[in-house]
Structure 1
Amino acid sequence: PTHDPTIVSHKKVSHVKLESIRNAKNQEVPLYALPRPPVANFKPEKNQQSKSFSQSVFAHHGANDIQEQFEPTFVKLDKQVLRFQGYFKESVVESRLENYRMRKVTIFYFLEDKSIMITEPKQTNSGTPQGAFLKRQMVLKPDGSQQPFMPQDFRVGLDIGIYGRSIRIYDADQYTREFFKNIGQEQPEATQAPIDNFQTSQIPIPPKKDNEMKEYLEKELGGGKVASQKQFLDNDRKVLRFYSKSEGLQFIVHYYLADDTIEIRENHYSNDGRDSFPLYLRRQKLPEK
């Protein structure tokens, strides 16, 4: 605590002193022009003389005539997070299917305290622990300057080094693009992340259909169905009848439109001297020649 709570003092403390008390590490946190600032409604009688010190120093970025009530930096930048999509290449040993794997991550940059959090979306049967890749913390640049990463260090298409891993940024969300557009540094267009052998193996491949083998197995099991179901439904019980004669014998030919089969019956009459077989040719398909 910065004071003894048992001592009652009505002395006013300036907002500059309060800001220095909250920021114990004395780290400078810049006040960015946020794309979606909080809306503050003031009474119309508020004039230039009644504005606080912060209103005169930090003018509202949307319109200079809007009167803004003082807010500490950690309040103004609270819940303001930049989100980037990236990937890095990791070697895979003792595997005959792949030599490397492209691991996709999501980078969160918190403007409030310059901290970074990295998560990795989970993939089914990936064989690697996924989820929280880096807990929220302040990360220093790998150049030895002992300075934390700033928002300007993150650009689509560039590599950033975080704890020995080189992460390529390939996309950013809409709010992040609005933020960089507000500060005059628009992000490039998104690029495509490469696909490794593991992701290719996860793509479902439809089984190859062998119609001849399927029909053969159905026939072996005593089944089978009409090749065209629509033809069967449209022409079921529709039969064409023809009368023919060959070598003095009369025949009736039935042509079934449902499945293109033919049946031939012998036309008998009384005392024709022939055995009355019911069918001359049972119902079946006949070749054209």
Structure 2
Amino acid sequence: MKPLRPYERFDTLRQFLEHDKHVLRFYGVWDDTENMFGDVRELVLHYFLADDTIEIKEVTPMNSGRDAVPLFLNRQKLPKYAPVGLYQPGTITSRTVLNVFGGLVGNKGRFILDNCKTGAVHQEFYKDCDLRIGSVINVWGRRIVLCDCDEFTKEYYRTKYGVKDFIPVPYKAPPPPKVEKQIPPYNGFGSEEDSLCSCTGLLPKPPQKDFKKFMEKDRQGLESNILRFLAQFITTDPIDKERKFIISYFLSDDTISVFEPPQRNTGILGGKFLERLRVPKPGQELFKSEMSEYYMAQDLYIGAKVCFHGHVFLVVDADEYSFNYMEKHANEASCAFQSLFGL
């Protein structure tokens, strides 16, 4: 007679089909500061509902000096109590085999499975019910504190176990105070942008210009995109009071040039009075870390008083092109538009 062999049936297929690709994610920390050169290390724990296995990944911050290890713990069933030593081969097994008749294998031996699992080592593994925010789990002798979880995990525990308290445990250190970047002061050579570019790298690069503005406001056919104003000195000197100047503002790069038309029998030679450049507003410190404030198109209108390097001018008139431009772009030159039309 053939004896009945009491096979055990492990119904793992149903659990796999119901919870395949369902993973619980917890965020935790391992405080290793008690050891030499140890620190607090952030971990991410994944619990696979399909087969009750756990894997742990370490979050390696930048410039930490640690190698980027793929996994802190390979995917496996995690026992609650770490063994003292290593088990012998065959000690931990799901089934126990009994030799009931015969000798060696292949010599007409008879074997059955022990349903009582006599002599087997029973281990208690972590389940989903053991994982909570704030709980401490033992990962082969390392105490890991679970501090937070994702939304899927919260919904899973809320549905299955009725858990409603998901207050995270603060585990991240506060960010270090932000150190403000100190820009060296202007050295006096070239423009302020050139001085700033010489401090951003070992190989100085020329400052980048606003190419889009240059293409939109550069000379295009009959459109010169240059605003010209007539100005005169604000002074008590009777000779300088009669001098006339033409202030040209270039919209493509916000530069200003001043030209003095020659006048007969004045004793003053006309010509270029100010080279084309960006003119800073008066009352600013020269050698400082902050960028200076320069004259813009909104600062030039009829009746405006401007100071170019110590010379104070009064704008008294403008050409026809400037009038048309300021009328079309009233939002850019609001003061000029209001002055022209008395608004």
TM alignment of 1:72-111, pairs within 5 A: 72-73=14-15, 75-91=17-33, 101-111=39-49
| Number of equivalenced pairs | 216
Deviation of 1:148 (Å): 1.6
Distance in 1 of aligned mates of 2:238 and 2:78: 99
2:74 alignment partner, one of 112, 117, 135: 135
Tell me how far apart the structure 2 counterparts of residues 80 and 264 of structure 1 sit (CA, whole Å): 78
Please give the secondary structure, in 2, of the residue aligned with 1:132.
Answer: coil
1:129-208 counterparts in 2 under 5 A? 129=67, 130-142=69-81, 146-186=123-163, 188-191=165-168, 193-196=170-173, 207-208=181-182
Aligned partner of residue 131 in structure 1, secondary structure: coil
Specify whether residues 268 and 224 from structure 1 end up closer, same or farther in structure 2 by C-alpha distance, changes over 3 A only.
Answer: farther
Q: Residue by residue, what CA displacement relative to the aligned partner does 1:269-289 show, whole Å, maximum 9, x if unpaired?
A: 2xx494x73338444723377
**What is the distance in 2 between the residues matched to 1:173 and 1:282?**
66
State the one-letter code of the partner of 1:164.
G
Give the Cα separation in 1 of the matches to 2:208 and 2:59.
47
Tell me the CA shift for residue 155 of structure 1. 0.7
C-alpha distance in structure 1 between counterparts of 2:39 and 2:145, whole Å: 14
Cα deviation for residue 78 of structure 1 reads: 4.5
Output the aligned Cα RMSD.
5.0
Aligned to 2:263: 268
Instruction: Tell me by how many angstroms 1:238 deviates.
Output: 1.0
State the AA in 1 paired with 2:158. K
Q: Retained in 2: the 8 A contact 1:250–1:266?
A: no
CA distance in 1, matches of 2:228, 2:145: 70
Deviation at 1:125, TM superposition (A): 3.7
SS in 2 for 1:84: strand
Contact 2:230–2:244 (CA<8 Å) still a contact in 1? yes
CA contact (8 A) 2:227 2:248 kept: yes
Instruction: Deviation per CA, 1:58-87: give whole Å up to 9, x if none.
Output: xxxxxxxxxxxxx64555454443222212
Deviation of 1:188 after TM superposition, in Å, equals 2.8
Between the two proteins, what is the percent identity of the paired residues?
A: 18
List, as ranges, runs of 4+ consecutive aligned residues in structure 1 with deviation greater than 6 Å: 223-227
Question: How is 1:12-161 mapped onto 2 (pairs within 5 angstroms)?
Answer: 20-22=8-10, 72-73=14-15, 75-91=17-33, 101-129=39-67, 130-142=69-81, 146-161=123-138
Aligned-partner Cα distance in 1 for 2:182–2:168: 34
Partner-residue secondary structure (3-state), 1:238: strand
TM-score scaled by length of structure 1:
0.53
CA contact (8 A) 1:84 1:169 kept: yes
Structure 1 counterpart SS, 2:76: strand
Structure 1: 5+ residue runs without aligned partners? 4-16, 24-28, 30-70
TM-superposed CA distance for 1:256, in Å, is 3.5
In the alignment, the residues of structure 1 paired with residue 20 and residue 209 of structure 2 have an alpha-carbon distance, to the nearest angstrom, of 68
Name the structure 1 match of 2:310.
287
* TM-score where L is the length of structure 2: 0.46
Check whether the contact 2:229–2:246 (CA below 8 A) recurs between aligned residues. yes
Map 1:246-265 onto structure 2 (within 5 A): 246-247=238-239, 250-258=242-250, 263=258, 265=260
Specify the SS of the correspondent of 2:161. coil
Is the 2:246–2:261 contact (alpha carbons within 8 Å) kept by the matching residues of 1?
no
Report the alpha carbon displacement of residue 154 of structure 1 after superposing the two structures with TM: 0.9
- Identify if the C-alpha distance between structure 1 residues 151 and 131 changes in structure 2 by more than 3 Å, giving closer, same or farther: same
The answer for the alignment partner of 1:68 in structure 2 is: none
The 10-residue stretch of structure 1 (162-171 or 72-81) with the greater mean CA deviation from structure 2 = 72-81
State whether residues 82 and 141 of structure 2, in contact with CA within 8 Å, keep that contact through their aligned partners in structure 1. Answer: no
Following superposition, the deviation at residue 162 of structure 1 comes to 1.6
Aligned counterparts of 2:30 and 2:144: Cα–Cα separation in 1: 5
Residue equivalent to 1:237: 226
